[in-house]
Amino acid sequence: MSNRIAWIDWSKVLLIYLVVLAHYGNIGNYADSLICHFHMPAFFLISGYLHKPLNIKDSLLKNTKRLLVPAFLFSLVCWGFYTAIEIIVKHQPLTLEDNVLRPLLGIVCYDRNIAFPQCGVIWFLEILFICQILLDSFLKIGHRSVFIFCLLSVVATCVWTFEGINDFGLLFYVQRLCASFPFVALGYYAKKQDWMLRISNISPFVAILFLLMYIAGVYFNGRTGIYSYQFGYSVLVYLQITLCGCLCFFYYVNKVKIGGKILVTLSNSTILILCLHRLMITVLYEIGVGPYLGSLIIIILCYPLSIFFTTKLPWFIGRF
């Protein structure tokens, strides 16, 4: 396994563990902030790094299979799970609106007044789908268009945040797209410019300095998140802190040279873990398992599931 593949696999597995841990809760506000400042941006950066430009037709087909199909199927799985909880555990009566219409609308809408997302984490897959299509579209026009859209995205995010506009209705996807696309584009150009080699070659002293800057910056900036559309003191400060955290993360992950079949299997199944971990958290939380151990148990439990889906139902997790 090449060094490049090793750091990508380690990054994806460690990041998905942090996603589970942050969603598990009860880890303290500062620990939560340390995770949420960089974990989703780092995922978007990796997605951009792995992006291979396609024509629009092929890009739509590939990303629909890879992202939208799993988003829809796992939404149905979560719908079945939570419906069973309502019937068996809570003994609640079923209604067409609350148990069918609102969950179905929740696949494409995050407005809790009219919809109820059964698998709320699919926002990442849906936003990544739009980012990939837009990136391929802009690359056909020219690299300058990518830069212009990134700049406009940052400006729009700054304006919306300054005005306190945090929309979970019609603007939900537009706002999260603008907050996410610059990271995907940056990851794509990082690959073209071989930035990972440069990051891995910085001195340990500089890496420690950036780490200390990240820790202090998170303490100063507070709780952030692309989904919650919170950026702390300001969007520009958030971007600086986030990029600092991603640089530190990729630097240290790049130092890990070991790989293995288990690592690759889990790395290839981050969508599975992303979409099922909240169901598992519900069970583990009820039996009193703590967040750090519980998150690790979820990753372990997902390993045999990953093998099953990869070999029997690869299309379910976006692999064809």
Query: Sign of torsion, CA 114 118 120 123?
Result: negative
pLDDT digits (tens, 9 = 90+) for 142-182: 999 999 999 999 999 999 999 999 999 889 999 999 999 99
- Per the CB < 8 A criterion, the answer to whether 95 and 30 are in contact is no
Which pLDDT band holds residue 1 (cuts at 50, 70, 90)?
Answer: very low
pLDDT computed for residue 150 by the predictor: 98
pLDDT at 227: 96
Domain boundaries, the chain: 3-317
H/E stretch holding 230 reads strand 230-231
pLDDT score, position 2: 47
Q: How large is the average pLDDT for residues 183-206?
A: 90
Rounded to an integer, the average pLDDT of 244-258 is: 92
pLDDT in tens, 9-60: 999 999 999 999 999 988 999 999 999 999 999 999 999 999 999 999 999 9
Alpha-carbon distance of 99 to 283, in angstroms, equals: 21
Going by C-alpha positions, the residue among 174, 180, 146 that lies closest to residue 160 is 174
CA angle, residues 276, 25, 269, in degrees to nearest 5:
25
Task: Return d(Cα 63, Cα 66) in angstroms, integer.
Answer: 5
Query: What does the CA dihedral 281, 282, 284, 288 come to, rounded to 10 degrees?
Result: 120
| Average pLDDT, integer, range 292-310 | 96
Whether 131 shows a pLDDT value over 90: the answer reads: yes
Closest by CA to 310, choosing from 266, 276, 260, 277, is 266
Residue 93's pLDDT is what? 86
Q: Is there a contact between 75 and 109 (Cβ–Cβ < 8 Å)?
A: no
Is the per-residue pLDDT at 261 higher than 50?
yes
Instruction: Indicate whether 4 pLDDT > 80.
Output: no
Among 177-191, 251-265, 270-284, name the one with the lowest average pLDDT: 251-265
* Residue type at 117 in one-letter notation: P
Mean pLDDT, the chain, integer: 93
Inform me whether the pLDDT recorded for 87 exceeds 80.
yes
Supply the pLDDT for residue 91.
82
Q: H/E/C letters for each residue in 93-120?
A: CCCHHHHHHHHHHCCCCCCCCCCCCCCC
pLDDT over threshold 60, residue 318: yes
